[in-house]
């Protein structure tokens, strides 16, 4: 079970071909908080929120299709407030597109 999934803007997991593409300047990193492969001092599984970190190193905005089932079927994605210049304020539905500005990153939390 993966705790990290590399996310393509088209709404799918990155492939080997994607990693080798010279034209791809954006990607996401899906961090599943319910899949952390570690335990606390009492031996209990460590749980956290699920986050999606989006990166755009390109010169143009990129629309990312947000994860659904692979992210644990969240009801919505919420942009973390620190990234107000990267994405418009608000919540985004899974499967919906989120436009990330050029040369920006953003962090969204699954709700």
State pTM to two decimals: 0.89
Delimit the domains of the chain by residue range. 4-110
For 52-80, b where at least 16 C-beta lie within 10 A, e where not — what string? bbbbbeeeeebebbbbeeebeebeebbbe
Asked if 104 and 30 touch (Cβ cutoff 8 Å), the reply is no
Say yes or no: domain 4-110 is CATH 3.30.70.20. no
Contact 94, 109 (CB under 8 A): no
Strands 77-79 and 4-8: unpaired
Per-residue pLDDT of the chain (111 residues; tens, 9 = 90+): 677 999 999 999 999 999 999 999 999 999 998 888 889 999 998 888 999 999 999 999 999 999 998 888 899 999 988 777 788 878 999 999 999 999 999 999 999
């Amino acid at each position: 079970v993966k705790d990290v999934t590399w996310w393509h803007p088209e709404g799918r997991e990155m492939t080997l071909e994607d990693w080798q593409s010279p034209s791809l300047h954006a990607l996401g990193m899906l961090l599943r908080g319910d899949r952390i492969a570690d335990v606390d001092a009492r031996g209990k599984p460590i749980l956290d929120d699920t986050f999606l970190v989006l990166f755009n190193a390109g010169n143009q905005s990129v629309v990312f299709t947000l994860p659904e089932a692979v992210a644990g079927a969240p009801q919505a994605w919420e942009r973390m407030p620190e990234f107000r210049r990267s994405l418009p304020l608000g919540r985004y539905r899974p499967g919906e597109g989120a436009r990330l500005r050029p040369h920006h990153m953003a962090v969204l939390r699954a709700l």
